[in-house]
Amino acid sequence: MVEVLLTLMIMGMILVSMTRILSAARTSRDTIHNIQETQLAGPAIMDRIERDLRGLVTFSRSRRELLRVVDRVISGMDGDSLDFVTSNDGLIFFPEGDIFLRADMNEVGYRLRANPVDNDFLEIYRRESFGVDDEPLDGGTFTFLHDRVKGFSILVFTEDGPDAEDVEDWGLDAEEEDPDLQGLPARLELELTLELSPRIMREQLPVARVDMREVTYRRVIRLPDSIRFAAGSVPMLAIPGTVGSSDAGAASPGSTTTATAGGVGGAGGDAGKTIQGEIRDAPGGGKAD
């Protein structure tokens, strides 16, 4: 009888040890999963937004159409929108006959809407339109990014420094426009709050800090001074004028007016520069200055 009780006690101790090992393994698995979740969705979305903003196009564009930020509140949560034109390659392929194309310059935006399944969350989408049309801040195809958004806030600053005051709206429509709130600001501060779906077993107590469901991601994006132009100084495309033409207006006889422009998203060149010099025939049928 004593031998049977001793055997049962040893078996019980073995089973208890195995149960504790399995419980610890499941807890570790859930914790690793939750850590990965915090490093996937949020940072990927913020990296995508920053990458698009780094390719922002300013050349030959109206200051009112460079960037638009609209302060929105959806279902009691921040749901700001962001629209601009970027020089990054498109992420969506558009059909053109038998082939699929993507443009080198696209209209891009980020919009939110209420989650149709759960009223406690918002959904965030990336807007992309093939090329650039007459309405660069509207239209396009929307790509789903995340469906458990608790808020997306965008603050705009016209100057650097810790004491700078933020602006919630930027580059609104013509009937609401303010010249001081057009063009490009000094920096943008983005804040995205997501509620993750952690794997936590019911019997897993207490919950580790890394298993917290709500995570806020912040990103500060400063726009370089080389693409921030004052009113009237935005580089625009121009047709070179020649001697005797109406475009040559103020050019003196024997001079040629040419215009050079900067690259996409960069500063312009010497638009309207006048090059002095007489053009005459040279022996051999060539031209000589």
The tens digit of pLDDT for each residue in 93-120 reads 888 888 888 888 889 999 999 999 988 8
**Spans of all domains in the chain:** 37-226, 235-289
Over residues 217-264, the pLDDT tens digits come to 999 999 888 777 666 666 666 677 655 544 444 444 444 444 444 444
Residue 274 CB neighbour total at 10 angstroms: 14
**The pLDDT of residue 215:** 87
For β-strands 187-195 and 214-222, DSSP reports them as: antiparallel
Query: Which one is predicted more confidently, 126 or 36?
Result: 126
Q: Which of 255, 265, 213, 270 is nearest to 87 (CA)?
A: 265
CB 82 within 8 A of CB 110: yes
pLDDT band with cut points at 50, 70 and 90 for residue 48: very high
Q: pTM (2 decimals)?
A: 0.66
